[in-house]
Chain A
Amino acid sequence: MKTKVMMMVILFAALGATDTTSSAHHGAAAFDMNAPVVLKNAVITEFLWINPHPLIKADYTDPKGNVEHWTMELGSTVSAQLIGWTRNTLQPGDKVTLYVWRAKTGATVGRFNKVDFPDGTTMRDTQRGGDDGGRADTGQRN
């Protein structure tokens, strides 16, 4: 079942699923959509379940020991709920790996792509959750 769901996520992302629940309220022009930055073992400091976009705030320690304070946005609360997100999906103190399309300015803010949890599961953004930065509304926690 787990494999099937994972395949469905990949399949629908590849087909460019066009669920428009969170239709372009805010665009992605400010972000580098070429490749997401990977924040391994980031620690969640706050998860704000707000409109127009929920915010994930996390601290990331780079290989040199420097701590970066990150903020990233998701699609919207209503669209995220439809693929399994709740206001409690992330909790302060959670250690996770975050993938984020970073701001072109280089600031430590960006558009959320996906999160890998320690148990091996993954949750994605609605609008920018595909590995290519496309939609992943059909994605479930797999």
Chain B
Amino acid sequence: MRKTCTGIIVGVVSVVFLSALAADQGSDQSNAARSPWKYYPEDARANKGDGGPAPRRDLTGTWAGESSGAGVERLVPPESPPPLTALGKQLFDRNRAEGGRGGITIAESNDPHVRYCDPFGFPRNMNDQIRSMTITSLSNRTFVLLKFMNIWREIWTDGRALPTNFGRGSDAHDPTYNGYSVGRWEDDYTFVVETTGMAPETWATESGYPHSVDARVTERFQRKSKNDLTLTMTMDDSKLYTRPVSLGAVHFRWIPSQTFFDFSCVPSSVQRYLKEMADPAAKK
């Protein structure tokens, strides 16, 4: 009984204390000088609810992802283990992702981004380091602008077909980091993007899933309300996977201020970081 009473008293005192702190913090925030050039994650966190119905065929704006500090959580991680073919397994085994296989360190990793700041490339740049993205459109293209590494993707919406020849010959298309993308509205709230021709030296995920140049990735951007946007990704790459593999789903929330901070991996900085910090920390 005494324990119960004590528990109730502690609970009531805690609620009063937390309320006082919250009121005090709110007062501090409202009084603080604010800059339109700065991103305030607490604003994005405070933007509760769905904000009303989604506008028709419109993804325009700046969105906060899981690494934005806005409390946005990943919906579904990439499928694990991936359904690899023999060749896929051979390529996957070459990729030594940090944290993989019982704890590969940065010093032991051969992740081209971690070691050299190499571009993630697509699709990894849509499922790793999801900080924020801006979406905007012209009459014949939609652009996805990623804040991490200041990357922009170009998605053609003029009805053209994807290229298919990434092999030999003067008419072949050169693989690119972001590949070649086309998009269409499946319905008023779902924009579907197909991409192929991605540079095969890049990883499809942080954990080192490989992809071939002929891989085809399908993205479904579904705007469920003014404030909520979900992206699901599937990769079809029959050379390396026995069936289409899920690359997971990420959630985005509308940022009221439409402002976000800048963050890029800088090669000269990462070399210094590795030499003076990460490699000595792991040296056996």
Contacts and interface: CB of A to CB of B under 8 A. Distances in A.
Interface of A: 1, 4, 7-8, 11, 18-23, 25-27, 29-31, 48, 50-53, 55, 57, 71-73, 76-79, 81-82, 103, 105, 107, 109-110, 137
A26 B108 CA distance: 13
A29 B281 CA distance: 10
A79 B284 CA distance: 30
Contact of B98 (A1, A27, A77, A82): A27
Interface residues of B, number: 38
A52 B105 CA distance: 15
Interface stretch (B3-11, B65-73, B175-183, B224-232): B65-73
A109 B277 contact: yes
Given A20-B66, A109-B277, 7 more contacts: A1-B24, A4-B21, A23-B66, A52-B270, A53-B273, A57-B276, A103-B281
B25 interface: yes
Contacts of B21: 4, 7-8, 11
Nearest to B279: A109
Contact of B284 (A7, A11, A105): A105
Interface centre among A25, A53, A55 (most CB of B within 10 A): A25
Contacts of A52: 265, 269-270, 273
B24 A4 contact: yes
B273 A50 contact: yes
B278 interface: yes
B273 A73 contact: yes
Interface centre among B20, B277, B278 (most CB of A within 10 A): B277
A101 to B, nearest CB: 10
A72 to B, nearest CB: 8
B112 to A, nearest CB: 14
A78 B281 contact: no
A78 B17 CA distance: 31
B283 interface: yes
Contact of A77 (B24, B41, B103, B263): B263
A55 B99 contact: no
A29 B103 contact: yes
A81 B35 CA distance: 14
Interface string B56-94: 000000000011110100000000000000000000000
Contact of A26 (B269, B272, B278): B278
Contacts of B277: 53, 55, 71-73, 109
B132 to A, nearest CB: 11
B238 interface: no
B2 to A, nearest CB: 25
10 contacts: A4-B21, A26-B114, A48-B269, A50-B273, A53-B277, A71-B277, A78-B261, A105-B282, A107-B283, A109-B280
A51 B105 contact: no
A28 B52 CA distance: 41
Given A21-B41, A50-B266, A31 B281 contact: yes
